[in-house]
Chains A and B, each alone.
Chain A
Amino acid sequence: MADSEGNERSKQTAIINHAADEGDEKSLAEIQKAKNEGKELTKEEKLRLRKEKKQQKKGKKDDKGPTEKAPVKEKTANPPASSQPVTQNAAQKAPSAVSVPVSESTAPTDKSAKSKAELKAERRARQEAERASKQAKKEPGSQAPSSKSKAPPSELQPAVKRLPEHIQVDDPAVVRKLAKKLERQQKSGQGTSLNVSRVKIPLRSDYGYKVSLFSHLHQYSRKAPLTQQISIPATVIHPSIVRLGLQYSQGIVAGSNARSVALLHAFKQVIQDYSTPPNEELARDLVNKLKPYISFLNQCRPLSASMGNAIKYIKKEISNIPSQCKEEEAKKKLLSCVDSYVNEKITLAAKGISKYAIDKISDGDVILVYGCSSLVNHILCEAFEKQRKFRVIVVDSRPRLEGREALRRLVNRGIRCTYVLISAVSYVLPEVSKVFLGAHALLANGYVMSRVGTSQIALVAKAYNVPVLVCCETYKFCERVQTDSFVSNELDDPDDLIVTRKGKTHLADWQSETSLGLLNLVYDVTPPDFVDLVITELGMIPCTSVPVVLRVKNVDQ
């Protein structure tokens, strides 16, 4: 008995220490009660417990002190007075907390050896202590999240945030889970069809050695397209989606705006060819049909933030279709939604942005642009048409060499251009008066995610005190937060870095070199300190106002 009591005491100490660390007097009382629960689960006690919990949640701490003492005295517990550690943070609660166990210690002990019920009780106690402490902490804040805190129980530490699956490629368990999810999606999509062949959406396998810092990302080869593994007359996946995936993976459709527009076009084809199966609702079935297509496109090339927002919009529109709506009407409505989305968010936004941006371009300016951003090209062409006198320096980088395309489009319009590679940026910057950059996405903490090399240019421009203006439509704003370019990025085909000159390819068998890795990054993030202004169709805002825009957008929707 003594030993068991001693064990109990140590256990209690541990629990109480933990509870005390939370600094909550209520938790101590709860522990005692919960412990006692294990021994005698009478209805009275349960009811009382519940009542007291409710009272605790309302925050009547002081009143509880006396009420708690009463039932506790009846129970047996032997929390030694010494086990009350002085480590309680809430000083005001300390005296009452100390008083409670002291009173309890006077009660006789009936404790027998440790039983399963008691272990359970202790676990429950820990959970309740944690919950109560969380509620106490959150009470000064908002009430709403407290209800959510009940959801993840059973963890001593606060709930660990889960990493998204697409950046856990080096964990085999996650990859297996993804494969299973693709299988499941495929089968659920085929649930009502008559197709006999059960073709899964294939899993594209990684290629080549991945540099260790980026081993958590996928790296695919352009020579191994996903279409190798699906049947040729694409019956499982809509043909326009297969075509789109191919165009993504081969880079024929590249650039954030182009990808979103092409995606919406493909979705229009899907909607046009869609017919509701019997006993199904269009709203739910169509969304389910789109899921495997989106997985397929994700395998061909990771989705961009703009595409993600477009998909969210479409899914929302589809789910909002009332069930009594006829199929033809619903389809027409959806198609017009898509068209209006493209019109508003892309075409008209570009017009609005160029209006603001043209104000910023004065005569005699030397503007530096990087790579090929459709929006920046549009702005420059519009400015040229409005008779502004400026010249452009196009900065380009390997392996994509997209600057050549930007150069071609600008020169076609008649704009005077200079072309340099990114290694020459610090040499040309003294002549530059402004830098215009495009963005792939704007993150919620004000960071700009754009083509790799953009942060470099922004940094050097800052060093030369040249203003950096980022042009970005609001539909590219995303709620992700990222402070470095490692945690979430895209790895392109490493063979693109290999160059053949005069018939000789030096890196032809780079894979046989064990200590050599080829890294072809696609994106990088620029901190908001380097960006002076973001031009959106809502106006010209500083980088740090992105979360405000997001909040306003969410409220609007």
Chain B
Amino acid sequence: MELQAVLMAAGGGSRMMDLTYNTPKPLLPVGNRPLIWYPLNLLERAGFEEVIVITTKEVQKALSTDQRLKLDVKMKLNVECIQEDADMGTADALRHIQQKLKTDILVVSCDLITDVALHEVVDLFRAHNATLSMLMSKCTSSRRRVPVKKAEREQRDFVGVDSAGKRLLFMANEADLDEGLIIKKSVMRKHPRMHIRTGLLDAHLYCLKRSVVDFLVENKSISSLRGELVPFLVRKQFSKTSISRREEDHSDQSQKRKDATAALDEALLQLASERSCWNDHSGDMSEAYHGGRLRCYAHIMQEGTCYRVNTLTSYVEANRVAPKLFEEAAVHPSAVISERSQVGGDSIIGASCHIADKTSIKRSTIGASTIVKEKVKITNSIIMNSVTIEEGCNIQGSVICNNAVIGRGADIKYCLVGSGQRIEAEAERTNDVIVGSDQLMEI
């Protein structure tokens, strides 16, 4: 077997607590499908037959019992549960399941919605015998108004790639840089041309060698893949005492009886690369890859969709775009829509909905089992499951979570209505976040 897929679905969605305080992030509906469906679909289309899903017990229960969360995946899901309050980082999770990992791994995050051709990332990993290969995308800025509590400014990521745009030379987050960007002279000597980009979105899709997992087991101090391991690997490419030597020690300990054959194989590979007349760079006197054993590559998507649903903005954005990725009937066959209502072409109606007369639904997503009464106007909104919207409401640019009830004649503009909330009749809310009192207490 070549690659094992690992899906990280235990994240809490810390940047959109309003949405996730009741519903775990992997189960948030996007285009009327749970968020976890999108990476699973990506893996299935690529040809994976088995996925290891790391998630919480709550999610596992919901996935197996809840009928509304249709997953429709033919792959075998090995669900590994971790405690929700254990505060495990992604690297800790990998350490937790290290017994199950037998080959190189492909780590995917559950909030990734993309239509990338996975072979581009994996080919870099295979062809160059890389230690790490990841996916990045040119960020598309969103300009729509979305309900936000306060302006969220994200820390920038500085990513340095070589002139071909494939090899990762530098990676740091603004938060980690105290004064300025420091680039080592050894890097500049080996790669005189470096492109540093800040507008890239990290898709959290990594191909890692098996030896990296062993390294993680040894170094328990690393807890996050993205935050700590990846920058560490990128830095280690150019350090003299490279990680590869330590990796070799580990592999020697674990495969003592295969030492002789492995050494012979290495010799053959070495001979092949010596005899090959290929070099990845030209102009200096060093051999291919500058003799470095550790290599990190990134595939930067120029076109196509790639979203990470970890903020409210991106959630709304994804809801708008995700349904277009997959050919699906916009209106579920079991929805009951009266003839005198207007449902726009780019809206999605979930299963068992009731849409009454004289309603107008434009560019919105309506979840399953939602009841929309007469004379309601819904524009640019996301209505989740089992919501009741009484007559005469006007909902614009809002997110209404599960089981909410919007009273008669309410006018909701650019709001976020939390799970199970009741909006009283004739209410007028603009740019507001209406959540339950228990959520307020958490803050």
Known: A232-B118, A272-B261, A411-B285. A258 touches B268 (CB 8 A): no
CA distance A201 to B282 in the complex (A): 36
CA distance A372 to B274 in the complex (A): 12
The answer to whether B276 touches A258 (Cβ under 8 A) is yes
The answer to whether A239 touches B278 (Cβ under 8 A) is no
> Which listed segment binds A: B1-9, B216-224, B377-385?
B1-9
Set of chain B residues within 8 Å of A127, measured between Cβ atoms: none
The answer to whether A232 touches B277 (Cβ under 8 A) is no
Set of chain B residues within 8 Å of A232, measured between Cβ atoms: 2-3, 46-48, 106, 118-119, 122
The answer to whether B277 touches A254 (Cβ under 8 A) is yes
> Which listed segment binds A: B18-26, B123-131, B328-336, B349-357?
B123-131
The answer to whether A405 touches B271 (Cβ under 8 A) is no
A side interface size, CB within 8 A = 48
Any A CB within 8 A of the CB of B189: no
Query: Most chain-A Cβ atoms within 10 A of its Cβ — which of B48, B269, B275?
Result: B275
Set of chain A residues within 8 Å of B285, measured between Cβ atoms: 408, 411-412
Known: A232-B122, A258-B273, A265-B269. A250 touches B127 (CB 8 A): yes
Any A CB within 8 A of the CB of B264: yes
Q: Please give the distance in Å from B283's CB to the nearest CB on chain A.
A: 9
Set of chain A residues within 8 Å of B268, measured between Cβ atoms: 261-262, 264-265, 268, 339, 342
Contact partner, A233, options B2, B123, B277, B278, Cβ 8 Å: B2
Any B CB within 8 A of the CB of A515: no
Inter-chain CB contacts under 8 Å: number: 114
Known: A342-B271, A404-B282. A228 touches B119 (CB 8 A): yes
The answer to whether B47 touches A246 (Cβ under 8 A) is no
CA distance A371 to B277 in the complex (A): 9
Set of chain A residues within 8 Å of B274, measured between Cβ atoms: 258, 374
The answer to whether B122 touches A243 (Cβ under 8 A) is no
Q: What per-residue 1/0 map shows which CB atoms of A216-236 lie under 8 Å from chain B?
A: 000000000101101111110
CA distance A406 to B276 in the complex (A): 11
Q: What per-residue 1/0 map shows which CB atoms of B78-121 lie under 8 Å from chain A?
A: 00000000000000000000000000001000000000011100
Q: Please give the distance in Å from A532's CB to the nearest CB on chain B.
A: 25
Q: Which A369-401 residues have a C-beta within 8 angstroms of B? A: 371-374, 401
CA distance A412 to B128 in the complex (A): 24
The answer to whether A262 touches B272 (Cβ under 8 A) is yes
Set of chain A residues within 8 Å of B1, measured between Cβ atoms: 233, 235, 239
Any B CB within 8 A of the CB of A257: yes
Q: Which B265-309 residues have a C-beta within 8 angstroms of A? A: 265, 268-269, 271-279, 282, 285
Known: A227-B122, A233-B3, A243-B127. A258 touches B272 (CB 8 A): yes
Q: Please give the distance in Å from B73's CB to the nearest CB on chain A.
A: 15
Q: Which A87-130 residues have a C-beta within 8 angstroms of B? A: none
Q: Please give the distance in Å from A503's CB to the nearest CB on chain B.
A: 13
CA distance A333 to B140 in the complex (A): 58
The answer to whether A335 touches B126 (Cβ under 8 A) is no
CA distance A401 to B4 in the complex (A): 39
Q: Please give the distance in Å from B108's CB to the nearest CB on chain A.
A: 12
Q: What per-residue 1/0 map shows which CB atoms of A240-280 lie under 8 Å from chain B?
A: 00110011001111110110011011001100100000000
Set of chain B residues within 8 Å of A197, measured between Cβ atoms: 47, 49
Q: Which B381-415 residues have a C-beta within 8 angstroms of A? A: none
The answer to whether A374 touches B261 (Cβ under 8 A) is no
Contact partner, A405, options B3, B119, B129, B279, Cβ 8 Å: B279
Known: A255-B275, A374-B275, A405-B278. A233 touches B126 (CB 8 A): no
Any B CB within 8 A of the CB of A68: no
Set of chain A residues within 8 Å of B261, measured between Cβ atoms: 272, 335
Q: What per-residue 1/0 map shows which CB atoms of A398-431 lie under 8 Å from chain B?
A: 0001101110100110000000000000000000
CA distance A251 to B276 in the complex (A): 9
Contact partner, B279, options A233, A346, A408, Cβ 8 Å: A408
Q: Please give the distance in Å from B131's CB to the nearest CB on chain A.
A: 15
Q: Please give the distance in Å from A3's CB to the nearest CB on chain B.
A: 71
Set of chain B residues within 8 Å of A406, measured between Cβ atoms: 277
The answer to whether A247 touches B277 (Cβ under 8 A) is no
Set of chain A residues within 8 Å of B278, measured between Cβ atoms: 251-254, 405
CA distance A272 to B265 in the complex (A): 11
Closest to B128 in A: A252
Q: Please give the distance in Å from A202's CB to the nearest CB on chain B.
A: 12
Set of chain B residues within 8 Å of A412, measured between Cβ atoms: 285
CA distance A252 to B127 in the complex (A): 8
Closest to A246 in B: B127
Set of chain B residues within 8 Å of A225, measured between Cβ atoms: 119, 123
CA distance A207 to B279 in the complex (A): 26
Contact partner, B277, options A227, A243, A265, A374, Cβ 8 Å: A374
The answer to whether B275 touches A233 (Cβ under 8 A) is no
Q: What per-residue 1/0 map shows which CB atoms of B36-63 lie under 8 Å from chain A?
A: 0000000000111100000000000000
Q: Please give the distance in Å from B10's CB to the nearest CB on chain A.
A: 23
The answer to whether B265 touches A265 (Cβ under 8 A) is yes
CA distance A247 to B276 in the complex (A): 11
The answer to whether B271 touches A255 (Cβ under 8 A) is no
Q: Please give the distance in Å from A259's CB to the nearest CB on chain B.
A: 8
Q: Please give the distance in Å from B126's CB to the nearest CB on chain A.
A: 5
Q: Please give the distance in Å from B346's CB to the nearest CB on chain A.
A: 31
CA distance A411 to B122 in the complex (A): 36
Set of chain A residues within 8 Å of B48, measured between Cβ atoms: 231-233
The answer to whether A228 touches B126 (Cβ under 8 A) is no
Closest to A232 in B: B46
The answer to whether B275 touches A230 (Cβ under 8 A) is no
CA distance A173 to B282 in the complex (A): 44
CA distance A255 to B274 in the complex (A): 10
CA distance A412 to B127 in the complex (A): 27
Q: Please give the distance in Å from A102's CB to the nearest CB on chain B.
A: 75
Q: Please give the distance in Å from A115's CB to the nearest CB on chain B.
A: 62
The answer to whether A247 touches B265 (Cβ under 8 A) is no
The answer to whether A247 touches B127 (Cβ under 8 A) is yes
Interchain residue pairs with CB less than 8 A apart (8):
A232-B2, A235-B1, A235-B2, A243-B127, A252-B278, A261-B275, A262-B272, A374-B276
Chain A residues within CB distance 8 Å of chain B: 197, 199, 225, 227-228, 230-235, 239, 242-243, 246-247, 250-255, 257-258, 261-262, 264-265, 268-269, 272, 335, 339, 342, 346-347, 371-374, 401-402, 404-406, 408, 411-412
Chain B residues within CB distance 8 Å of chain A: 1-5, 46-49, 106, 117-119, 122-123, 126-129, 261, 264-265, 268-269, 271-279, 282, 285
> Which 10 residue pairs are nearest across A and B when measured between Cβ atoms?
A231-B47, A372-B277, A258-B276, A239-B2, A258-B275, A374-B275, A262-B272, A261-B272, A265-B268, A232-B46
Given A230-B47, A243-B127, A254-B277, 15 more pairs with CB closer than 8 A: A232-B118, A232-B119, A233-B47, A233-B49, A243-B126, A250-B127, A252-B278, A254-B278, A257-B275, A258-B274, A258-B275, A268-B268, A371-B277, A404-B279, A411-B285
